[in-house]
């Protein structure tokens, strides 16, 4: 398998890296969050105009790629710059589900996403579900041509900024069954929808969404009744690749800041980077970053593999990224000393984002247990 980037992906990477280096920075992000805004609308629209969202969809949906390596290229650069704009839940999760299950009419939303004209969100996790995708207690009751939704969804990425929400709910089976889960398109302003916005530790926006007797037409369902689990698992696999690639970008940024600091900070009249003990610690850190990059490449290459093989790679990669990320976050902060923890310094954002990524779609322990069970099956 050839893991080298194609010419088109290399051009996409270079274009995105150049745009973000010229238009995105830590101070701008801090000012934006201090103002109470969840993201920069102008940057978001420019990313759309550059075709970044289109790179996350296949040609059949009007996109430019949509393969594993397209996702990895885009999100590594987003992670390197510390971007907080609504892309993951919007294009990869909700957009990916509509791409796989939607009717032609429903898929018109994808064109709006690619153009940066609409934002979607995926509401699936629940307060008691932790990382288990099959644990769904929200209910969907069909009555004639309408469906009534009830339940609570937790940690919905950019749910407060979304125009339309893809909601999972159970139409049949018990709380833990894979069968019986369906997906529905619900307008954010639908009667009975209550949204509580809250920032994550990394500054990105997430929400808790309560559905209290929300009524939608039967044609709001994505795909068939009770058969959405496989599509959800596929979408989360793609999202896991995205955040793992983002973590590699954040690790690279943290590494670069640390190397620069070690060259500039002096003790006893010489740069601390010349101290052998610190050089050894940096060498260990560099090895962890390269291992993380290799794992992301491996997952990108297996994203279209059969389900059992793909999911083993998903869990193996997420576990490794979590372990490597924890080491990189801890070591880079410690090598900086106190300044590494200050909000004014960019490293603090990258460290927080790396920690946050470990808790998205399953942490180190969850994926270690899952990897073992998948191999035993």
Q: Does 271 lie in the same domain as 183?
A: no
Q: Does 209 lie in the same domain as 235?
A: no
Asked whether residue 248 is domain-assigned, the answer is yes
Specify the pLDDT at position 261.
84
Q: Final residue of a domain: which of 209, 226, 243?
A: 226
DSSP 6: P
Mean pLDDT of the chain: 92
Q: What is the mean pLDDT of residues 293-313?
A: 94
- Judge contact between 183 and 221, C-beta under 8 A: yes
Asked whether residue 99 is domain-assigned, the answer is no
The 10s digit of each residue's pLDDT in 21-46 is 999 988 888 898 888 888 999 999 99
Asked whether residue 208 is domain-assigned, the answer is yes
- Judge contact between 202 and 356, C-beta under 8 A: yes
Q: Does 313 lie in the same domain as 218?
A: no
Residue 246 half-sphere exposure, CB side, CA atoms within 13 Å?
27
Asked whether residue 98 is domain-assigned, the answer is no
Helix (H, G, I), strand (E, B) or coil at 148: strand
Q: Does 290 lie in the same domain as 158?
A: no
% of the chain beyond a pLDDT of 90: 75
Tell me the C-alpha distance between 358 and 352, whole Å: 10
Tell me the C-alpha distance between 138 and 193, whole Å: 13
Q: Does 63 lie in the same domain as 134?
A: no
- Judge contact between 242 and 91, C-beta under 8 A: no
The 10s digit of each residue's pLDDT in 40-88 is 999 999 999 999 999 999 988 888 888 999 999 999 999 999 999 999 9
Q: Does 324 lie in the same domain as 262?
A: yes
Q: Final residue of a domain: which of 184, 209, 226?
A: 226
Q: Does 184 lie in the same domain as 72?
A: no
Q: What domain range includes position 157?
A: 120-226
Q: Does 314 lie in the same domain as 259?
A: yes
- Judge contact between 45 and 116, C-beta under 8 A: yes
Asked whether residue 94 is domain-assigned, the answer is no
Tell me the C-alpha distance between 52 and 44, whole Å: 10
Q: How many domains does the chain have?
A: 3
Asked whether residue 176 is domain-assigned, the answer is yes
Specify the pLDDT at position 72.
95
Cβ partners under 8 Å of residue 350, min gap 6: 82, 250, 251, 253, 254, 257, 329, 332
Asked whether residue 90 is domain-assigned, the answer is no
CATH of the domain at 301: 1.20.140.10
Q: Does 318 lie in the same domain as 264?
A: yes
CATH of the domain at 177: 2.40.110.10
Q: Does 246 lie in the same domain as 366?
A: yes
For residue 63, give Cα distances in angstroms to 46, 86, 89, 112, 305.
16, 18, 17, 11, 21
pLDDT tier, 3 (very low <50, low <70, confident <90, very high otherwise): low
Specify the pLDDT at position 2.
60
The 10s digit of each residue's pLDDT in 124-154 is 999 999 899 999 999 999 988 899 999 999 9
Q: Does 143 lie in the same domain as 129?
A: yes
Asked whether residue 32 is domain-assigned, the answer is yes
Q: Final residue of a domain: which of 226, 249, 272?
A: 226
Q: Does 60 lie in the same domain as 128?
A: no
């Amino acid at each position: 398998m050839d893991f080298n980037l194609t010419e088109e992906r290399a051009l996409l990477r270079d274009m995105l890296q150049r745009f973000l280096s010229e238009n995105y920075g830590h101070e701008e992000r801090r000012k934006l969050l201090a103002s109470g805004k969840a993201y920069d609308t102008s940057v978001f629209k420019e990313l759309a105009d550059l075709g970044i969202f289109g790179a996350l969809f296949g040609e059949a949906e009007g996109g430019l790629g949509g393969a594993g390596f397209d996702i990895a290229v885009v999100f590594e650069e987003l992670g390197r710059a510390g971007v907080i704009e609504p892309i993951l839940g919007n294009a990869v999760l909700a957009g990916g589900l509509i791409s796989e299950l939607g009717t032609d009419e429903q898929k018109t939303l994808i064109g709006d996403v690619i153009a940066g004209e609409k934002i979607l969100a995926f509401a699936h996790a629940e307060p008691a579900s932790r990382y288990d995708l099959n644990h769904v207690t929200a209910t969907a009751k069909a009555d004639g041509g309408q469906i009534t939704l009830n339940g609570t969804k937790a940690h919905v990425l950019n749910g407060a900024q979304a125009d339309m929400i893809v909601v999972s709910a159970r139409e049949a089976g018990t709380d833990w069954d894979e069968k019986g889960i369906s997906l529905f398109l619900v307008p954010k302003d639908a009667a009975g929808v209550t949204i509580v916005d809250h920032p994550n530790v990394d500054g990105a926006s997430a929400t808790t969404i309560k559905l209290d007797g929300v009524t939608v037409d039967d044609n709001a369902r994505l795909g068939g009744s009770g058969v959405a689990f496989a599509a959800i698992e596929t979408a989360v696999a793609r999202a896991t690749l995205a955040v793992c690639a983002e973590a590699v970008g954040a690790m690279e940024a943290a590494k670069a800041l640390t190397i620069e600091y070690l060259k500039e900070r002096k003790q006893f009249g010489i740069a601390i980077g010349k101290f052998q003990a610190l050089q050894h610690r940096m060498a260990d850190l560099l090895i962890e970053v390269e291992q993380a990059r290799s794992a992301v490449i491996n997952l990108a290459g297996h994203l279209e593999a059969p389900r059992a093989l793909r999911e083993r790679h998903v869990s193996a990669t997420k576990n490794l990224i979590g372990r490597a990320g924890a080491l990189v976050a801890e070591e880079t902060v410690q090598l900086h000393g106190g300044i590494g923890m200050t909000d004014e310094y960019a490293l603090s954002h990258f460290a927080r984002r790396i920690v946050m990524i470990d808790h998205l779609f399953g942490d180190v322990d969850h994926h270690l247990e899952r990897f073992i069970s998948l191999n035993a099956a």
